[in-house]
Structure 1
Amino acid sequence: MTQTGGSPPIRVFLVDDHVVVRRGMRAFFDMLDDIEVLGEAPDGQSALDQLAVSAHDDKLPDVVLMDLLMPRLDGIAATRAIKKLYPHVEVVALTSFSEAERVHSALEAGAAGYLLKDAEADQVVAAVRAANRGQVHLDPAVARKLTRSLVAPQRTATVLTPREREILVLVAQGKSNRDIADALVISERTARTHVSNVLSKLDLASRTQAALWAVREGLVAGP
């Protein structure tokens, strides 16, 4: 797995209170040319402390892999803090199936997606690469569970223009702003504006919530 176009490696930071999990992920990422592990932390507070130092040195990660259930400061609170302090850093939540309900809070906090802890290594890599591209990556099993339980906003797709409905479908398919711009022959800036308008009109906080909402409303097929 080599880098393409000479792009710099994706910088990843690992947050999990189980050292075996962190070592396993680091060992796998170390075999890849396009991903570099910048550091790791055993809990959310330690992660924030280390990221503050990284920000001072202008060496923030591109993607944080975040366990949700940890001592001191859990992954949800840490995700919320990271997205507030460093909006361009993407967070992918790691959860066990029994903790799926926590993912609602993680998405509201700004997580770009989530994985089950027993996901195959290639799924973890896919999630990191997708988050780095600004795309949504959902574990299908948890997505189905969440879609059934998602609390519906009081708004429907009728508030969207035909173009905004197109945008929503593309977001739900995991397309980045660049992908949307290419598909609809518009500028990336216009695509970004459309996405923001869709989220605002539907009272949703993230692209991931938009994807789940579109599945529940039947605009796209579920995972």
Structure 2
Amino acid sequence: MVQKGYTQIGPGLSSAVFQRPASPPSTERAVDWELLTPRERDIVGWIVQGASNREIAQALYISEKTVKNNITNILSRLNLRDRTQLAIVALQQGLGGKQL
């Protein structure tokens, strides 16, 4: 069968592939919100509400660049990939729309 272009998989590999968990790993993680400054916690609250960088900047009377820098710091401190993951984690921990 290998000569006809098929691939042969050993029993160890095939059992590892076909015995994967049916559900994806949980994205829930514990986050220490105290690592953030009050301003950064304000920004997280706006992100959870779906605000853009421009909207956050206007609401907080700061530049868009400052918002971007704050978001970079937030993601780094909390070890998160992006603002979407940040919003998901905040919502999972019951922080949606609340002051952090």
**Alpha-carbon distance between aligned partners in 2 of 1:174 and 1:204, rounded to the nearest angstrom:** 17
Match of 1:151 in 2: 28
Identity of aligned residues (%): 43
Instruction: Report the equivalent of 1:181.
Output: 57
Q: In structure 2, what is the equivalent of residue 14 of structure 1? A: none
Name the structure 1 match of 2:73.
Answer: 197
Q: Where in structure 2 are the equivalents of 1:2-81 lying within 5 Å?
A: none
Q: Once the two structures are superposed, what CA deviation does each residue of 1:157-199 show, in whole Å capped at 9, x if it has no partner? A: 0111111100011111111111110110100000111111111
**How far off is 1:210 after superposition?**
0.4
Q: 1:100 to 1:165 in 2, by over 3 A?
A: farther
Kindly indicate whether structure 1 or structure 2 has the higher relative contact order, using CA contacts under 8 Å at least 6 residues apart.
2
Counterpart of 2:32, as a letter, is T
TM-score (norm 1): 0.32
Q: Which sections of structure 1, spanning at least 5 residues, go unmatched?
A: 1-98, 105-148
Q: Does 1:207 align with 2:83?
A: yes
When Rg is computed on C-alpha atoms for both structures, the one with the higher figure is: 2
**Which ranges of structure 2 fall in alignment gaps of 5 or more residues?**
1-21
Amino acid at match of 1:152: R
| Shift >3 Å, 4+ stretches | none
Partner Cα separation in structure 1 for residue 60 and residue 71 of structure 2: 13
Q: Distance in 2 between matches of 1:218 and 1:161?
A: 19
Q: Could you tell me which of 65, 83, 93 is aligned with 1:217? A: 93
Q: Is the 8 A contact 2:28 2:89 kept in 1?
A: no
**C-alpha deviation, 1:100, in angstroms:** 7.7
Matched residue pairs, number? 76
Q: RMSD in angstroms over aligned alpha carbons? A: 2.0
Are the aligned partners of 2:75 and 2:86 in contact in 1 as well (CA < 8 Å)? yes
Deviation at 1:218, TM superposition (A): 1.8
| Deviations 1:131-168 (CA, angstroms, capped at 9, x unpaired) | xxxxxxxxxxxxxxxxxx42314x31011111110001
Identify, as 1 or 2, the structure richer in strand. 1
Q: CA–CA distance in 2 between the matches of 1:184 and 1:175? A: 12
Change in Cα spacing, 1:191 to 1:100, as seen in structure 2 (3 Å) is: farther
Distance 1:204 1:182 in 2: 25
Checking the alignment, whether the CA contact within 8 Å between 2:36 and 2:74 is kept in structure 1 is: yes
Partner residue of 2:39?
Answer: 163
The one-letter code matched in structure 1 to 2:42 is E
Question: Which residue of 1 is the match for residue 8 of structure 2?
Answer: none
